[in-house]
Structure 1
Amino acid sequence: MDLTDNHRRYWRKNLRITGVLLAIWFVVTFVVSYFARELSFSFFGWPFSFWMGAQGALVVYCLIIGFYAWYMNRLDIEHGVDEIED
């Protein structure tokens, strides 16, 4: 099966956004945790390292999921591969 230019553009955009969101996930999960001891300033009354580990990472993960769902829905409509119910 040959892919059309529309399919190629769709998958290129899909892979690009997936890569960007995975990079954000990696930074939040590993980089911030690695440098947590050096992040010794107060954030909402808690040490930032504690807040990021306990709450901040979960908030970022939910934002990543929500953004991906919104973006892919928009991309599906743009490229005509959305699921339209009649």
Structure 2
Amino acid sequence: MQLTDKQLAYWRRTRMLTAALLAVWFGVTFVGAYYAIALNEFELFGFPLGFYAFAQGALIVYLAIIAIYVYVMNRLDHTYGVAERR
């Protein structure tokens, strides 16, 4: 089964979005954790910055990743005519 150009464009944009959001997730989770000890030298609201960044900031970023994915995928689905609701 051959995919049409429209289907290929849809999947290309879906893969690009997924890769970009996974890169953000990786950066927050692993790169941020790598520098956590260095960040703990600074304080934010009385807490070490490394702790605060992961206790609060990482969760906010994860929620933002989910929200961005849902919003962009809904727009892509409507643009390419594959949305469940019209």
| TM-score, structure 1 normalization | 0.91
Gaps of 5+ in 2: none
Same amino acid, percent of matched pairs: 51
Which stretch of the first structure deviates more once superposed, 26-35 or 46-55? 46-55
Question: What residue in structure 2 maps to residue 20 of structure 1?
Answer: 20
What is the count of residue pairs matched by the alignment?
85
1:42-86 CA distance string (max 9 Å, x none) = 23442210111211111110000010000000000011110136x
Runs of 4+ in 1 over 6 A off after TM superposition: none
Q: Distance in 2 between matches of 1:33 and 1:84?
A: 40
Quick one: which amino acid aligns to residue 36 of structure 1?
A
Q: Distance in 2 between matches of 1:44 and 1:73?
A: 38
1:25-44 equivalent positions in 2, closer than 5 A: 25-39=25-39, 40-44=41-45
Gaps of 5+ in 1: none
Quick one: which amino acid aligns to residue 43 of structure 1?
L
Deviation, structure 1 residue 11 = 0.3
1:46-57 equivalent positions in 2, closer than 5 A: 46-57=47-58
* Aligned-residue CA RMSD (Å): 1.2
Q: Distance in 2 between matches of 1:53 and 1:35?
A: 11
| TM-score, structure 2 normalization | 0.91
